[in-house]
Amino acid sequence: DAKTTQPPSMDCAEGRAANLPCNHSTISGNEYVYWYRQIHSQGPQYIIHGLKNNETNEMASLIITEDRKSSTLILPHATLRDTAVYYCIVRVASFTGGGNKLTFGTGTQLKVEL
Amino acid sequence: GAVVSQHPSRVICKSGTSVKIECRSLDFQATTMFWYRQFPKQSLMLMATSNEGSKATYEQGVEKDKFLINHASLTLSTLTVTSAHPEDSSFYICSANEVTLTEAFFGQGTRLTVV
Which DSSP state fits A97? G
- Mean pLDDT, chain B, whole residue set: 92
Chain B contact for A103 (CB, 8 A cutoff)? yes
What residues of A are in contact with residue B33 (Cβ under 8 Å)?
97
Average pLDDT over residues B82-104: 88
Are A20 and A81 within 8 A, CB to CB? no
- A101: nearest CB among B34, B91, B108: B34
* Per-residue pLDDT tens over the stretch B22-78: 999 998 888 889 999 999 999 999 999 988 888 899 999 999 999 999 988 989 999
CA distance A16 to chain B (A): 26
What residues of A are in contact with residue B91 (Cβ under 8 Å)?
41
Return the pLDDT at A1: 65
**Closest chain B residue to A34, measured at CA:** B103
What residues of A are in contact with residue B9 (Cβ under 8 Å)?
none
Return the pLDDT at A99: 60
Q: Do A45 and B107 touch (CB under 8 A)?
A: no
| Residues above pLDDT 90, as percent of chain A | 81
Q: Which of A95-99, B32-36, B88-92 has the highest mean pLDDT?
A: B88-92
* Per-residue pLDDT tens over the stretch A17-61: 999 999 999 999 889 999 999 999 999 999 999 999 999 999 999
Return the pLDDT at B52: 84
Phi, psi of B14 (to 5 degrees): -85, 150
CA distance B114 to chain A (A): 17
Chain B contact for A107 (CB, 8 A cutoff)? yes
pLDDT greater than 70 at residue A72: yes
* Per-residue pLDDT tens over the stretch B9-20: 999 999 999 999
- Mean pLDDT, chain A, whole residue set: 92
Q: Which of B102, B109, B114, B101 is nearest to B5 (CA)?
A: B109
- The rounded distance, in Å, linking the Cα atoms of B76 and B68 is 14
**Closest chain B residue to A43, measured at CA:** B108
- A95: nearest CB among B44, B45, B100: B100
Return the pLDDT at B39: 95
Type of residue found at B90: S
Query: How many CB atoms within 10 Å of residue B3?
Result: 12
Are B25 and B34 within 8 A, CB to CB? no
When pLDDT is cut at 50, 70 and 90, the band that residue A2 belongs to is low
Chain B contact for A105 (CB, 8 A cutoff)? yes
Q: CA of B56: how far to CAs of A47, B59, B66, B113, in Å?
A: 28, 10, 13, 24
Q: Do B109 and A42 touch (CB under 8 A)?
A: yes
Q: Do B43 and A105 touch (CB under 8 A)?
A: yes
